[in-house]
Every structure is written in structure tokens, then in C-alpha cells.
Chain A
């Protein structure tokens, strides 16, 4: 290949500008998202109101806690199906700690988060030590934790009345920004930072991209697994706490579909199920797409069972479009 050809191949799309990079990576889904917004706005003008936008953002925030952690897990070549059950268990723990055992709010929160971290850590350890597929290990953990949440509460919700705890889920900062969005902001910054600005981030990409090559490169695979699964457990626990506060109760079934929704957002955002490739920015738009679609269908008065059908169809289409795009890009 001559010098001329080499320089000719550089174009504006190879630019390092983060905005161009973002649009290039997520072009398809951004267009889909905009179309969806326009369609919804056309049908239900109350869509583009401040209060509705805030409510959508609040709804997707707990999904995004999980999705941001699962983004890292998928990049590292794993998967976490247990996150949803950890949400449920955390909701139950934080509620029983306060209601049944009379612990203070901070103690209850720390207990729930410690439980999430421990379960995640156990996930990571089992996957590393036994070499079993993460799908199976975390599915088993999902059964255990969801079961435990039901056993613990007899499948009954636990009412919460403490105003300052409720505030953590329903309150506003400066009267405009909902609390869950504030946590989300810090989580997204943290995940972005880990993935893009730390050695650990490179090691996560390397582990998922080619585990053997990563090992040859001196990457400690065990530490990567521990980190991503533990972080996922913590995020799930946080989601459980925030959801409990929003619903004024500890709910043993609250996280039932949470892991799948989070995985769907991550994959919609262009992160590869095969590992080694993915971006937190994509996950945000993926979660937005799902959130806005649900909201649009709600505003149009379509019942929630039809919403599930619609969600499935949209996920299939969006992931297929991305798959075709990636396929073209990688072909020689």
C-alpha cells in the first residue's frame, strides 16, 4: 500500500473529537431515538413538557445504575443475570432493617449495599475459580437471591414511612433535579472514568477482547472479574434502595425484570455481547430509547402488556440494525 493511499483513508470520521466519535458510534440509534420522540410528540403533545421529561429520566435512572455496571461486565466478556434479584433483595433488606430491626437509615443502606457487594464478589469468584459460564452462575444466583427475598418477607411488601428515607428517592435538589438523577450523574461519570481513564478500564477491554492475550499481557483476570461483578452488585443494591424510597415500601418483586431491561439497554447502546467492545455513552442512549418508548406508550394509553410486546420488537430491530452496521465495518 502506498503512502498516498494510507493518508487518503483518513477522513473526518477518524477524528478524535468526542462528539463526532459519539455520533459515529451511535448514529443509528440516535436517529431512531429522535424519530421516536417526534412521533410521540406528534401524538401526545404533553410529551415534551418539563415534568414529563423529568419523570422519564427518573424512571430510567434505576435501570441505568444496573446498565452502567452491566456495560462493564459485557465489555469484560461476562454477563450478570443476578442484578435484578439483588435489586429485590436489597429493597427487602433496607426495609426490614429499618422496620423490623429498627436500624437507622445509614446502617440499613450500608447493610443493603454490603449485601450487594458480597453477592457480586461471590459471583466473580465462582466464575473465576470454576470457569463455569457467567450466564449459568449468575442465573443460579438470581434464583437464590430472588427466592431469599420472597422467603424473607413472605412475598409481602413492607411499608416505609420515614420521611428522610423517602426523600432519598422522591426528593429534589434545588427543587428541580430529582435525587435519583443526582446519583446517576456520579455513577455515569465514575464508569466513564474507569473505562476511559484508568488501567483497570484497559484491562476490562482486554479481558473481554481476548482473555488469553490479556493474560499474556500481565492482566490480572481475577481482579477484573472481582471488580466488575462486585460493582454490579453494589449498583443493583443502590437501585433497590432508591426504588424502595420511591415506592414507600420494600418490594420483594421489584427487580424481577430489571437485569434483562438493563442488558437490553446495554446491547441497544452498541456494546458487544461477545465482549471487548462497548461504551457507556451508548448505554445511556439505549436506556433513553427504552424509557421514552415506555413513556410514549403510557401517554397513548396502551396497556403494559402491549408495551412488553413493543419493547421486544424494538430491541430486535435496533440490535439487528447495529449488527449489520458492525458487520460492514469489520469486513475487509
Chain B
């Protein structure tokens, strides 16, 4: 491993923003053909470092050495010139253009007035085939799923002669099967001698894909380890600067009382879904992306139409046709994508936390601001949202803190049943552990939680029972004693 040449070295990188020393003498080195993972809590400096490398920010101080030569990267064009390509979390493809047109975007072949489409399509097809993707070069990008779109982005960056590819949380919206396909692609890239910088919050992936891992904390470089010589515990300790106890800390309650029964729920996306939810339990929902878990939850909460089926809460059938009905039936739904469905980014924490309980402090056209602040402060403290104050714009918070604000807004509504769809997606370990602790506290206090999650360790570690879904139907309901990765996956995939 160590004989491989060093592709990139970043030494003593400093970068300051008004009030923040975001990078404080940070180091990173990358060898050809290795996958080098970057770990750190949000705000540790990973993304700033990547943006310096990608030419989005200009460094204040420090050296960037690519192929033994000191280079200056001032803008994105420079970065491209030196073979650096960044694949962002958000996909940046043009949906209404074909794969081939996207890959050649800005580098079209032939003269400007008559580009040679067929030649480009042929080359694209060769590339797609070399990565074993069953796709056609002429397919529209909008017809691909997220995983396939990501692959197209990766192929595009290899096509533009990238030697260093940065992947920022590439798996955050992929199912396990899609992750496997992505990892195959990454191995393929490694074999071509491309160096890959890999950012992920999923520790479990490191074993599978990464060769080395560097840890950052508070804008400082902490350490680099060979993945095979380290452990998850050691890495977490390096990340948070202290030893962390058991990650999934559950105290199981006696759950005998049924709080909600869902009977034969059906609509366009889900078929005949029936299950019980017990008071004080965490009911995990596992399955592949597209198995109908989110759709089930939306239908229960009243966001989507139900064609048939019954929902019985505390023994009484309830009619839920809108989210308002869902709220008044005592249900809360922390949605899957916090940015698109959860937060009001241009509003402050106070607004975000109290939007669901306006009735409690706006009465007879009068706003009880004291009460409003009280509510907001209570939940800000309870969830330890880290921000300068209640007036902070939520759009300026880190992902973990945004998620805490979203959860806070639901807790303020005091639901009996809290549905959490991917509650820890894209947030750092520290915040994850905090959210698990909050969930544990909630069920201890008699709230019942449905947790939809694509991270199997999370489902297994947190749930009392696990419901597995497959193509819109429930394929198994497992007790926590029988819920292991193999059993869940067997029920999740089509055989």
C-alpha cells in the first residue's frame, strides 16, 4: 500500500471566515489508487477543506502539492486543470438531457455549429459499459434513480480526466443494494489509479471501502489511521475528543398496550399494510428505497390519499384526510428530507419550533410572546440545539442542529405517536447519539415512535420490533431478538 505514489498533499492549510477559524493548519495526503475517508463532526472543517481543494474557497495559507508540484488553486477551473473533481451531495445534472449530453456538457465534440451527437453517444455507451451499468447513453437523466444519477456524475468526472475525486456523502440517499453498486464503481476507479477522498457519516462503510481515514475536529487535523488497524470506537473517540459509551442506548419498556392499529391500508403506492404500534415502543421500518415505507407514513399522517383501510388510535377509528387531521389525532411526522420538507430556512429557531402549536399562544388575535419564547426555549434546551439564540436563522445551522429543530417542533405539538423518517440522515455521530438519546427518553415517557431507516445498524440497535417492507407490502414483522441484518435483508429483497 505505502509504495503507491502520493498524489496530493495539503499542508498547513489555514482558512478564516469572519469570526471563525474554519481551518487551522490542516493536513491531508492522498495516494494514487486509495480511498481516503475524512471523518469529523459537522463543523470540523471537512467541507471547508474540500472546498479549498475544489477552488470554491481560496486558502489563506498553506501548500497544496499535486504530483510533487506545488500548485495554486484559485477557482474551480484551476481545480479541474489539476484533475480535481468534486461530487457534491446534491446532484448537478441537467434532468431533461440525455446521459451522453450531460457527460459531454461543455466539452461537446465537433464544431460549435454542428456537434457530433452520435460520436458522443458511442463514447458514452463505452464508458457506461465499462462500469457495467445497464444504461443507454440516450436515456434521459430524469428517468434514472438517484443512485444511477450519482454514477453518471462519477463517470462524468472520470471522463474529464480527474485524478482526484472527492465524494461528499455519496451514500446518504442510497439503499444498501445501491451502495454495493457504488462501491463496485469505486473499486473500479481505484484500479485505474485514481485517488478518492470519501466523506461519510456512516462508520460501517469504512471497513468495506476505505483504505485510510483522517479525522478532523474543530478545524484541526487530529490523526490518520489505516482502516484495518483501527476500530470504530477509536475513531469516534478521535472525532469527539472523548470516549463515547454505547452508541445505541436503549432501555426497553414493557409494551403491552396497543396505541395504534393500521388495518389494510392501501393506495397507489402501498398495498394492504397492517400493523400494530404499542405504547412506548420504537417500531423500526426497514426495507429498500422505494419499498413504500415513506409512502405508508405519509398516508397514515394524512399527507397522501388512502384508497382503503382503517386507522384505529386508542381503540377508536379515526379519519385522517390531511396533515391537520393527523396532528389533531396525536400523530407527528418528522419528514425524510429536512431541507425540502422540514425547515423554514429563512425563519428563526423560534418560528420553526412553534409553527405547529400556534394555538397555544395566539388566542383572540393576541400573541402571548412570553409563552411563545417559553415554548421555544424549553424545546431548544431539551434537544440541546446549539445556536447563538432563538433568533438564529435555521438555514444557518448545521444539519444536526436543523434536525434537532425539526424534532423540537414536533415535540412541541406533544404527539402520542411520532413517526421519524430517516431521523439521522446526513448528520454527524455526535448529533446522532443525541437524537438516539432523545428517542429513548421519549418512549420512556410513553410516546410511541415509528422509525423509518435505511441504516440497518440503526434499525437493529434502536427498535423494539422491526417491520420489513418490500414493493409496497409488509413482508415481515420481526421481534428484536430475531431482527439481524441477514433476516431483515432476506425479507427486504425480492427473491
In the assembly, what is the distance between CA of A57 and CA of B389, in Å? 39
In the assembly, what is the distance between CA of A215 and CA of B398, in Å? 23
Q: Chain A residues near B340 (CB, 8 Å)?
A: 210, 212-213
A132 interface residue, CB < 8 Å from B? no
In the assembly, what is the distance between CA of A220 and CA of B250, in Å? 37
A1 interface residue, CB < 8 Å from B? yes
Q: Chain A residues near B367 (CB, 8 Å)?
A: 196-197
In the assembly, what is the distance between CA of A276 and CA of B342, in Å? 14
Across the interface, do B347 and A276 meet the contact criterion of CB distance under 8 Å? yes
Picked from A6, A212, A332, the residue with its CB within 8 Å of the CB of B396 is A332
In the assembly, what is the distance between CA of A188 and CA of B333, in Å? 37
A305 interface residue, CB < 8 Å from B? no
How distant is B397 from chain A, measured CB to nearest CB, in Å? Answer: 9
How distant is A205 from chain B, measured CB to nearest CB, in Å? Answer: 6
Picked from A197, A330, A332, the residue with its CB within 8 Å of the CB of B366 is A197
Across the interface, do B343 and A213 meet the contact criterion of CB distance under 8 Å? yes
Across the interface, do A198 and B346 meet the contact criterion of CB distance under 8 Å? no
Query: Given A197-B365, A202-B358, A217-B409 in contact, is the A330-B395 Cβ separation under 8 Å?
Result: yes
B342-379 near A? 1/0 per residue, CB < 8 Å = 11111100010001101100100111000000000000
B284 interface residue, CB < 8 Å from A? no
Q: Chain A residues near B366 (CB, 8 Å)?
A: 197
Across the interface, do A216 and B323 meet the contact criterion of CB distance under 8 Å? yes
Name B22's closest neighbour in chain A (CB-CB). A332
Q: Which secondary structure dominates where chain A touches chain B?
A: helix
Most chain A CB atoms below 10 A, which of B333, B342, B355, B365: B355
How distant is A282 from chain B, measured CB to nearest CB, in Å? Answer: 14
How distant is B7 from chain A, measured CB to nearest CB, in Å? Answer: 30
Picked from B351, B391, B409, the residue with its CB within 8 Å of the CB of A202 is B351
A129 interface residue, CB < 8 Å from B? no
B170 interface residue, CB < 8 Å from A? no
Across the interface, do B17 and A332 meet the contact criterion of CB distance under 8 Å? yes
How distant is A3 from chain B, measured CB to nearest CB, in Å? Answer: 10
Q: Which secondary structure dominates where chain B touches chain A?
A: mixed
Q: Chain A residues near B355 (CB, 8 Å)?
A: 202, 206, 214, 217, 219
In the assembly, what is the distance between CA of A212 and CA of B367, in Å? 25
Q: Chain B residues near A58 (CB, 8 Å)?
A: none
Picked from B341, B359, B365, the residue with its CB within 8 Å of the CB of A213 is B341
Across the interface, do B388 and A6 meet the contact criterion of CB distance under 8 Å? yes
Across the interface, do A330 and B326 meet the contact criterion of CB distance under 8 Å? no
B327 interface residue, CB < 8 Å from A? yes
Across the interface, do B343 and A220 meet the contact criterion of CB distance under 8 Å? no
A277 interface residue, CB < 8 Å from B? yes
Across the interface, do A218 and B396 meet the contact criterion of CB distance under 8 Å? no
B386 interface residue, CB < 8 Å from A? yes
Query: Given A213-B341, A215-B323 in contact, is the A199-B388 Cβ separation under 8 Å?
Result: no
17 additional A-B pairs beyond A202-B355, A218-B326, A220-B322, beta carbons within 8 Å, are A14-B389, A193-B365, A199-B358, A205-B344, A205-B347, A209-B344, A210-B341, A213-B335, A213-B341, A213-B344, A216-B303, A216-B323, A217-B323, A217-B355, A276-B344, A277-B346, A330-B396
Q: Can you report 22 residue pairs joining A to B where beta carbons are below 8 Å apart?
A: A6-B387, A6-B388, A10-B389, A197-B365, A197-B367, A198-B365, A205-B347, A206-B355, A209-B344, A209-B347, A210-B340, A210-B341, A213-B343, A216-B323, A216-B341, A217-B409, A218-B322, A218-B326, A276-B344, A277-B346, A330-B393, A330-B395
Chain A: residues with CB nearer than 8 A to chain B? 1, 6, 9-10, 14, 193, 196-199, 202, 205-206, 209-210, 212-220, 272, 276-277, 330, 332
Shortest 3 CB-CB distances between A and B: which pairs? A209-B344, A9-B388, A218-B324
